[in-house]
Structure 1
Amino acid sequence: GTGILIDCGEGTQIAMRKKGWSAKPIDIICFTHYHADHISGLPGLLLTMGNAERTEPVTMIGPKGLKRVVDALRIIAPELPFEIIYHEIQDSTEVIECDGFTLTAFRVNHNVTCYGYTMTVKRAGRFDAERAKSREIPLKLWNRLQKGETIEEDGHLYTPDMVLGPQRKGLKLTYCTDTRPVEAIVTNAEGSDLFICEGMYGEPGMEEKAKEHRHMTFYEAALLAKKAGVGELWLTHYSPSLAYPGNYEGEVRKIFKKTIVAKDGRTETLKYTED
Structure 2
Amino acid sequence: MIDVCLLGTGGMMPLPNRFLTALMVRYNGKSILVDCGEGTQIALRKSGWSPKPIDVICFTHYHADHISGLPGMLLTMGNAERTEPLLLVGPKGLQRVVKALRTIAPELPFEIQYHEIEGDSDEFTLPGMNEFRIKAFKVNHNILCYGYTMHLDRIGKFDVERAKASGIEMKFWNRLQKGETITTDDGKVFTPDMVLGEQRKGIHLTYVTDSRPTDSIAENAEGSDLFICEGMYGEEDKLQKARENKHMTMYEAAELAKKAQVEQMWLTHYSPSLVNPKEYLPKVKDIFKNSVATKDGRVITLRFEED
> TM tier, shorter chain?
over 0.9
* Aligned position for 2:280: 248
What are the superposed Cα offsets for residues 92-121 of structure 1, whole Å, 9 maximum, x if unpaired?
Answer: 111112224111100000000000000000
Q: Structure 2: how far apart are the matches of 1:47 and 1:159? A: 46
Secondary structure of the structure 2 residue equivalent to 1:175: strand
> Which residue identity does 2:244 align to in structure 1?
E
* Aligned position for 2:188: 156
TM-score normalized with structure 1 length: 0.98
Q: Structure 2: how far apart are the matches of 1:119 and 1:24? A: 21
> Which residue identity does 1:184 align to in structure 2?
S
Q: 2:52 aligned with 1:21, yes or no?
A: no
2:122 counterpart (71, 94, 108): 94
* Aligned position for 1:110: 141
Q: Is the 8 A contact 1:168 1:274 kept in 2?
A: no
* Aligned position for 2:302: 270
Q: 2:158 aligned with 1:127, yes or no?
A: yes
Q: Is the 8 A contact 1:108 1:116 kept in 2?
A: yes
Map 1:176-187 → 2, pairs under 5 A: 176-187=208-219
Map 1:28-43 → 2, pairs under 5 A: 28-43=56-71
Secondary structure of the structure 2 residue equivalent to 1:216: coil
Q: Structure 2: how far apart are the matches of 1:68 and 1:159? A: 44
Q: Structure 2: how far apart are the matches of 1:225 and 1:169? A: 19
What are the superposed Cα offsets for residues 250-273 of structure 1, whole Å, 9 maximum, x if unpaired?
Answer: 110000000000001101000111
Q: 2:87 aligned with 1:56, yes or no?
A: no
State the aligned residue count. 275
Quick one: higher RCO (CA 8 Å, sep 6+), 1 or 2? 2
Greater Cα offset, 205-214 or 61-70 = 205-214
> Which residue identity does 1:128 align to in structure 2?
D
Secondary structure of the structure 2 residue equivalent to 1:231: coil
Q: Is the 8 A contact 1:93 1:107 kept in 2?
A: yes
RMSD between aligned residues: 0.8
1:84 counterpart (112, 123, 129): 112
Q: Report which of the two has the higher share of strand.
A: 2
What are the superposed Cα offsets for residues 44-79 of structure 1, whole Å, 9 maximum, x if unpaired?
Answer: 000001111111111100000000000000011111
Q: Is the 8 A contact 1:95 1:103 kept in 2?
A: yes
What are the superposed Cα offsets for residues 24-43 of structure 1, whole Å, 9 maximum, x if unpaired?
Answer: 10000000000000000000
Per-residue deviation at 1:207? 1.2
Q: Structure 1 stretches (4+) deviating beyond 4 angstroms? A: none
TM-score normalized with structure 2 length: 0.88
Per-residue deviation at 1:205? 2.1
Secondary structure of the structure 1 residue equivalent to 2:32: strand
Q: Structure 2: how far apart are the matches of 1:95 and 1:262? A: 28
> Which residue identity does 2:141 align to in structure 1?
H
Secondary structure of the structure 2 residue equivalent to 1:188: helix
